[in-house]
Chains A and B, each alone.
Chain A
């Protein structure tokens, strides 16, 4: 059975959920082989990789790797592609992941497909499914030259446990000078909000132009907190300075696909829709009955969000006690 290389995404030595998703996707194509690039792999990490299907774990362990962004991981993967001739290489569709995949594709002379939501085998070729243009179009695509390098969107493939050996294979790393040109001199953590990351949250509560002010977002935050949700904002709200840019959901912001998306005071122009329209359940509160966002709603209330949202928050509080 052909090997499928899966680049592991970890934070502080803990395997991220996205890796378990990619290992599951890799099983659709061949035998998953996880690739760990970074200093030290714990037994717990090996166990997680094995639990989700990694027959092998290639470990490229060197202090150098943490000091230089992106380029080292691409070199390690290129080395492995040359050695094992995999069926495909799967990489998480994060900023680091996409850039690693891009550099890898150039190194090994392969085509690249980004942000796949699924992969499958069709005869002897690998077919990726992509959900593009804000989810309005579903595409099936193939790499037509070289070993398919595919980045896979987080939260798209449901992880399935499938215990495998996770046999450790140590990889000798000899980084080129080019890979060492950019050096990380420090990390600065953002002040931790208490809320989940937008990209990973199961529930997102957003505010738009209808919120009217920065203070108005207090009502949005209270609803989010009652649901343990992340807070999002429309372009109109972030441009007006009512909420920070990093929370913008939309064409020029983040794309989210949570289980539940509650849009408050958002009209639903394509700029915003493109960032959230594949959410599983969409609830809308807007005082304009003609707002296009109601076309997306599974449940909608035409009304003033400053009346509806606090009442909703209070009801949730009552029901969860």
Chain B
């Protein structure tokens, strides 16, 4: 099997996020960059599939130079090769442009599956996997808590509000995964060393075959008009429990008409 896994470098989730004054883009510099957490689950799922069925895992990322660290992390988990699309023109790309670049990088390389985490912690849109499926004309099997491959078919359990739906399709297909699906492995020391020698193809926007004028902040199909910090909350009342803390909260809730 040949599986692509898309990974994104995002600001550390334990850091405060801010938009930049001036261009209103997400400030990606002031926090450490980490692999989007759900992407780790996608990499893990791909590795487990290859362990069961044989083949190779190629990790793909669209991002600035420092996103190379995220590609390397996936390689040190066990992915076989990387593709890193890096180009100044991509800065500030919206989901529309991002999906175009990813689809162009995936197409024509003989992948059976392309895996994603279902959501990234920066913009939290959950649209790129579906958009890539739309652009490629492949089946979309997303929000998977379980994935199974049998012959040329792939089946998932798609998480729904009250349980799950069983969904099946012929490959090639786009799959996105949720946290429940597995436990990502930690890279071993051996894996980290081996990763340094694995091939990473870097591609410019031209090499991917997308028009530079169609990507980046200026080409985006949505824009921030203005933004502001939420007004700070007025300070509340804090008391110390002296054997009556629970009673005091109950009194407060009654005053606020919750009980």
Binding site for B on A (CB under 8 A): 11, 69-71, 74, 94-95, 98-103, 105-107, 110-115, 127, 131-133, 135-146, 178, 181-190, 192, 197, 203, 227, 245-246, 251-252, 259-260, 269-271, 274, 278, 281-285, 289, 294-304, 307-316, 319-320
Contact = CB atoms under 8 A, between A and B. Distances in A.
Interface in B208-259: 220-230, 233, 236-241, 243-250, 252-254, 256, 258-259
Interface majority SS on A: helix, strand, loop or mixed? Answer: mixed
Interface stretch (B60-68, B107-115, B154-162): B154-162
Nearest to A177: B137
A308 B249 contact: yes
B228 A103 contact: no
A106 B135 contact: yes
Contact of B128 (A101, A102, A140): A102
B53 to A, nearest CB: 20
Contacts of A285: 245, 249
Contacts of A106: 96, 99, 131, 134-135
B131 A145 contact: no
A145 B13 CA distance: 31
Contact of B221 (A112, A283, A315): A112
Contacts of A298: 233, 236-237
Interface in B138-184: 138-143, 155, 157-170, 173, 179-180
A185 B259 contact: no
A307 B241 contact: yes
B29 interface: no
A260 B249 CA distance: 12
A315 B220 contact: no
A308 B241 contact: yes
Size bracket of the B interface: 35 or more
B51 interface: no
B138 A181 contact: yes
B158 A138 contact: no
A136 B130 contact: no
B127 A270 contact: no
Interface of B: 13-19, 24, 37-38, 94-96, 99, 118, 121, 123-131, 133-135, 137-143, 155, 157-170, 173, 179-180, 220-230, 233, 236-241, 243-250, 252-254, 256, 258-259
Interface majority SS on B: helix, strand, loop or mixed? Answer: mixed
Contacts of B180: 245-246
Contacts of A115: 124-125
B161 A11 contact: yes
Contact of B121 (A184, A252, A281): A252
A260 B258 contact: yes
A136 B15 CA distance: 13
A298 to B, nearest CB: 4
Given A74-B134, A132-B17, 10 more contacts: A99-B142, A111-B96, A114-B127, A137-B17, A138-B227, A203-B258, A271-B13, A285-B249, A298-B233, A301-B248
A143 B239 contact: no
A112 to B, nearest CB: 7
Given A103-B131, A135-B230, A319-B254, A303 B163 contact: no
Contacts of A132: 17
Contact of A133 (B18, B126, B221): B18
Contacts of B13: 251-252, 270-271, 274
Contacts of A69: 140, 158, 165, 167
20 contacts: A11-B162, A105-B96, A111-B222, A137-B227, A139-B19, A139-B224, A140-B226, A184-B166, A185-B155, A187-B163, A190-B162, A245-B179, A271-B13, A296-B233, A299-B236, A301-B240, A304-B241, A308-B246, A313-B246, A319-B250
A185 B225 CA distance: 44
A102 B127 contact: yes
A131 B19 CA distance: 12
A232 B18 CA distance: 26
A160 B85 CA distance: 48
Contact of B225 (A140, A182, A252, A308): A140
Given A69-B158, A203-B258, A145 B246 contact: no
A301 B227 contact: no
Contact of A182 (B167, B236, B247): B167
A70 B222 contact: no
A138 B230 contact: yes
Nearest to A191: B163
A182 B155 CA distance: 9
Interface pairs A-B: 10 shortest CB-CB: A311-B246, A303-B241, A111-B221, A102-B127, A315-B250, A312-B246, A99-B130, A181-B139, A145-B221, A111-B222
B179 A102 contact: no
